[in-house]
Amino acid sequence: MPFKHNASRRHHIEKTKFRVTNWPEYEAGLRRRGSLTLWLTPEALSKWYAPRRKTRGGQHRYSDLAIETTLTLGLVFGLRLRQAEGLLESVLQLMGLALAVPDHTTLSRRARAWRSAGKRPGNQVPPAGPLHVLVDSTGLQVYGAGQWLEEKHGARSRRGWRKLHLALDADSGEIVAHTLTDQDAGDVSQVAPLLDQIGGPIGQFTADGAYDGKPTYDAVIDHSAAAAIVIPPRDNAVEPSDDRPPGQRNRHIAAINSDGRMKWQVSNGYGKRSLVETAIGRYKSIIGRRLRARSLPGQQTEVAIGCAVLNRMLACARPKAVRRKAATP
């Protein structure tokens, strides 16, 4: 990365400054993110209660739409299940709607079995052309005793952490795919599940060095044969000595050996990978660093709704920033 190469002289490098060109629209969008306005269409009201099932088993009272609405309000405003139940109940009363609100036990139980209807997070319109996909992962804390308690008193800690894997559209900033696994799952193992959630073609796939290897290249090529893969090879990577035609990874190794890693990053647009790190920071600052649900299925539902919330917020307000020119002496 550039900051590693410039670490010895970074105090002499002036910080890059940007200027937002659509500030009035961006500021209005930021205010809309905190609006309490809630619209319920006649179609949503008619589907609030679950349809009568024709097979054996218990009958759900609330539809998946009602469960999703309540959980979404709780994530947006940082509320627990009981408080989300109370918020939605008061909002429906102010709207004059005689609708029952799912209680917290129903929300906890139904969240473990909730599944999205095979749609992209946030119901965004898919782009017309190939996507530039950025992939990265991060850790999310789960409920339980902390590591400090284990180290200080020798008590067994129940707190682990989950791994959130994100695939981001570099052009729109939208989260197009996500998975949640346990802490032992490798990053490379989730490349294929992420790509399976993307219906359109991929023009470029960009990730950090943790994804370097043949499994990642095979998964991307199987999805989109014409995709350009931009992953920095390991420092000790060498070009093969056989007569086989060089693949993308071999061409990257040759370019780095010839021109250097910094020039390779600029020529391949590797700097855009920072956008997925920004999306991860956005998730942790808005949705939270800790998962509220205690079971893995419930946590996966929480992450799915959280990604949809972020996409909707991004659609409300997205800054258009341009780099300021350096002042001439």
Nearest alpha carbon to residue 219 among 234, 233, 205: 205
The SS3 assignment for 260 reads coil
SS3 annotation, 6-17? CHHHHHHCCCCC
- What is the per-residue pLDDT for 190? 96
- What is the per-residue pLDDT for 144? 63
CATH number of 131-294: 3.30.420
- What is the per-residue pLDDT for 140? 93
Residue 314: both structure tokens together: 């991004």
- What is the per-residue pLDDT for 10? 61
The structure tokens 């670490």 sit at: 7
The structure tokens 């990642």 sit at: 216
- What is the per-residue pLDDT for 123? 46
- What is the per-residue pLDDT for 9? 64
Nearest alpha carbon to residue 79 among 101, 104, 106: 104
Strand 175-182, strand 161-169: pairing: antiparallel
DSSP 112: T
DSSP 108: H
The SS3 assignment for 54 reads coil
> What is the residue-level pLDDT of the chain in tens, covering all 329 positions?
555 666 666 666 677 788 888 889 989 888 888 887 777 888 888 899 998 888 887 888 999 999 999 999 999 888 999 999 999 999 899 889 899 999 999 999 999 988 765 555 554 555 667 999 999 999 998 876 656 666 666 666 556 789 999 999 999 999 999 999 998 899 999 999 999 999 889 999 999 999 998 999 999 999 999 999 999 998 887 766 655 566 898 899 989 989 988 899 999 999 999 999 999 999 999 999 999 898 899 999 999 999 999 999 888 888 888 887 765 55
CATH 3.30.420 residue window(s) in the chain: 131-294
- Distance between CA atoms of 112 and 106, rounded to whole angstroms? 10
Q: Is the whole model's pTM more than 0.75, yes or no?
A: yes
DSSP 53: P
- What is the per-residue pLDDT for 231? 94
**In sequence order, what DSSP letters do the residues of 169-198 get, joined into one string?**
ETTT--EEEEEEEETT--SGGGHHHHHHT-
